[in-house]
Amino acid sequence: MADRGADPSLRYHNKVVIVTGGTKGIGEAIVRAFVKNGASVVFCSKEETASDLENELSECGPGSALYVSCDVTIEDDIKRLIEVAVKTFGQIDCLVNNAGWHPPEQIIDDTSAQEFQNLLSLNLIGYFLTAKYALPHLRKTQGNIINVSSLVGIIGQKHAIPYVATKGAVTAMTKAMAIDESQYSVRVNSISPGNIWTPLWKELSSHAANPDVMILGGKDAQLLGRMGTAEECAKAVLYLAAEATFCTGIDLLLTGGAELNYGNKNQQKTQNSIYN
C-alpha cells in the first residue's frame, strides 16, 4: 500500500477498512468518513457495480475506495471480498459489519421459519462469517471489528420479532468475540443506532397507512426530538476504530435518549416506531 505522507489531521491514515453494505445509508456514510480520513476502503453490497460512488470517493480522497460485489449470505462471496482486500492493499485494519435489512412488520403467526432463517443469514451469520475470514488478517495488525447492531436488540420492538432477535444476537456475539480475540489485541465493539433517517427508514415509512404520522412518531421517540443521521453513526464508528483504543466489547448507543424515561406503552394508543 502506497504511503500518502503523514498528515496528523487524517484519523485513519494508511489503514485498510472493509465495510459491508457500503453503498447507501449508514454504510455509505461510514465509507465516506474513512476515505475522508485517509483510509483505503473496500466496500461491498449485492449490486453488480457501484462505479460512480467508487470513482467519486477515490477522486475526493485523501483515501481511496474499492467496490466489490458481495452477497454476505454467500460464504464464497465473503471469502473473495477478504481476498481482494488483502491482495490489493496487503492488510486489513478494520472490519465494519453493516450489511443487513429491517423487514416491514412481521407478525409471528404469519412469519415462516424460512423467512426467519433468511434474515438470520443476512443480519447475523453474514457478520459471523465476514469476521471469521477477516480475523486472521486483523490479528496481524492488531485491528478491530465494529458491528452495526440496533437499539431494538436491547429494548425490543413491536411486530419485529425476527429482526430484534438478529440484532440482540449481534450485540451478544460482539461481546463474546471481544473476549476470544483479546488475546490477539483485536478489539471488537458494536454501535446500536436508534431512529436514524436512512433510505431504509424512508422505504419502511412509505408502506405505512400515514407516512407523515409514522415519521413524526419516529422523531418524537427521542429526547432530542429528532432522528439521528447516517453521518453521526459514521462518526461513532470512526471513533471506535481510531481513538477508542481501550474499548472492547462495548455497545455504543446512538439513540438520542430514546431508551430513557417512562413513556406510554399502551399498544392500543401508541404508534409503532422503526429503529435502524
pLDDT at 203 over 90: no
Q: How far apart are CA 242 and CA 177, in angstroms?
A: 19
Mean per-residue pLDDT, 123-151: 98
Residue carrying the nine cell digits 485491528? 143
pLDDT at 4: 47
Dihedral, 273, 29, 182, 76 alpha carbons, nearest 10: 90
Q: Choose among 264, 259, 237, 260: nearest CA to 153.
A: 259
Query: Does 275 have pLDDT greater than 70?
Result: no
DSSP state of 196: E
Q: Please, what is the average pLDDT of the chain?
A: 93
User: C-alpha grid cell for residue 117?
Assistant: 432463517
Asked whether the predicted pLDDT for residue 51 surpasses 90, the reply is no
**pLDDT exceeds cutoff 60 at 3:** no
Among 12, 133, 163, 275, the active-site one is 163
Q: Report whether the peptide linkage leading into residue 103 is cis, meaning its omega lies within 30 degrees of zero.
A: no
Q: Which amino acid is at 116?
A: F
Q: How many other CB atoms are found less than 10 A from the CB of residue 4?
A: 15
Residue 180 has pLDDT above 50, yes or no: yes
Is residue 163 among the annotated active site residues?
Answer: yes
DSSP code, position 110 = G
- In this predicted structure, the answer to whether residue 89 has a pLDDT above a threshold of 80 is yes
Residue with cell 502506497: 2
Q: Given this model, what pLDDT does residue 267 score?
A: 73
Q: Convert the pLDDT of each residue in 143-163 to its tens digit.
A: 999 999 999 999 999 999 999
Q: How far is CA 150 from CA 5, 143, 210, in A?
A: 37, 23, 24
**Residues pairing with 147 in the sheet:** 97, 190
Count of alpha carbons within 13 angstroms of residue 150, beta-carbon side: 28
Contact between 245 and 187 (Cβ < 8 Å): yes
Radius of gyration of the chain (CA): 18
CA-based nearest residue to 236, from 275, 197, 189: 189
Using CA atoms, how far residue 54 sits from 70, 71, 80, 235, in Å, is 15, 18, 18, 20
Q: What angle do CA 83, 116, 212 make, to 5 degrees?
A: 100
Nearest-angstrom CA–CA distance, 194 and 127 = 20
* pTM score over 0.85: yes
Region 83-91: mean pLDDT is 98
Q: How confident is the model at residue 1 (pLDDT cuts 50, 70, 90)?
A: very low
Residues in CB range of 83: below 8 A, 6 or more apart: none
**Whose CA is closest to 243, among 2, 5, 10?**
10
pLDDT at 6: 55
> Rounded mean pLDDT of 110-135?
98
Whole-angstrom distance, CA of residue 110 vs CA of residue 154: 24
State the pLDDT at residue 175: 98
Domain residue spans in the chain? 16-254
Looking at the DSSP bridge assignments, the partners of residue 229 are: 197
Q: Which residues, listed in sequence order, are joined to residue 95 by a DSSP beta bridge?
A: 18, 145
pLDDT exceeds cutoff 90 at 188: yes
- Fold type of domain 16-254: Rossmann fold (3.40.50)
Percent of the chain with pLDDT over 90: 81
Is pLDDT of 31 > 50?
A: yes
What mean pLDDT is predicted for residues 99-110?
94
Average pLDDT over residues 34-54: 92
Residue 276 has pLDDT above 60, yes or no: no
